[in-house]
Amino acid sequence: MGGTLRPPAPRCRLYQAILLALFMLLLLYLRAGSLRALSGCDSGAQSCTRQEERVPLQVQQESGPQEGEEPSCLGPHGMLGRMMRPFQASLSPEGDVELSLYLAGWKELIKFLTPLGSIFTFATTEASAKVTALETRVRGPNAAHYTSLAVMTAWERSAGLLKGAAGAAPRDSGSRTTLLLHRALRWSQLCLHRVATGTLRGPEAGAQCSDAYRAVLAPHFPWLIQQAARLAFLAFPARARLLQLACPGARESQARAALALAAGTLEDVYNRTQGLLAERGLLHLA
């Protein structure tokens, strides 16, 4: 008989190769600093699989904290507690946002999100670079002008940092960097809120966070980046796993409540920042 034909490469290998190529391009794009980032809210889509209908959520053993007790994740040494406190403290009684505390909250948010999966990793990589860039201004020679969002935007406007050349984008500024972080915060907040409040027979966490991505981030990214994110969401951790990572050892109801509380804190910071940027006409700097 004639020679045996070699079987074609399995589809999964082709899929993996495409995914890897997309992510390599994504990381190069992020590193180049040419991203426009993030903004928005809502949508609604169904997940490709319905694992959560088959597997009940199990976040803890019966030895977890009793109902009514505060889970350790909200305490001073818990992941959610460490993230919430500086963000809460950044909201000054005068209606401003203190930048040093805002950045401290972002650092803890990045630490919290990074282990949750690759989709968070590529988002937090860029966010971390923005935090570092803004922190350089907060601690730099002009630190007196970077104490709060209101102080920073007023000084950068008077210094001409918010104006670009004719037909060009505005110069790099702390205000523009803050806007990018601000939009990223919205997606994080929506995703965590939906993970916390999603019903057992409703869309999976990956579908809900993907919906938030399409509404908040996708409009600011080119098609290639959108496709890479869409593929990454297919490997998004299950809701039970996310709750377990967010609040280790807690009961399901406690983990959900704790995560919803953390998402509420992020929403408070987002709303305050959104109002300040809108008042100053700075929501379209990037």
Integer angstrom CA distances of residue 73 from 97, 98, 101, 250, 261? 25, 25, 20, 8, 11
Partner residues linked to 148 by β-bridges: 98
Report CA dihedral (273, 278, 282, 285) to the nearest 10 degrees: 80
Best CATH choice for the domain 71-279 from the list 1.10.1660.10, 3.40.640.10, 1.10.3520.10, 3.40.50.300 = 1.10.3520.10
With 0-12 / 13-18 / 19 or more C-beta atoms within 10 angstroms meaning exposed / middle / buried, residue 268 is middle
Which residue type does 114 have? T
pLDDT at 16: 45
User: Which residues, in sequence order, are CB contacts of 214 under 8 Å at separation 6+?
Assistant: 43, 45, 226
d(CA 117, CA 107): 17
d(CA 219, CA 286): 12
pLDDT in tens for each of the 286 residues of the chain?
A: 444 444 444 444 444 444 444 444 444 334 433 333 333 333 333 333 333 332 333 343 344 455 557 899 999 999 999 999 999 999 999 999 999 999 999 999 999 888 776 667 767 788 899 999 999 999 999 999 999 999 999 999 999 998 765 444 566 899 999 998 998 899 889 989 999 998 766 678 777 887 877 777 767 777 777 777 777 777 777 888 889 989 999 999 999 999 999 999 999 999 999 999 999 999 988 7
Per domain, the residue ranges of the chain are: 71-279
Q: Which candidate, 238, 194, 235, 240, places its Cα nearest to that of 42?
A: 194
pLDDT at 33: 39
pLDDT at 175: 95
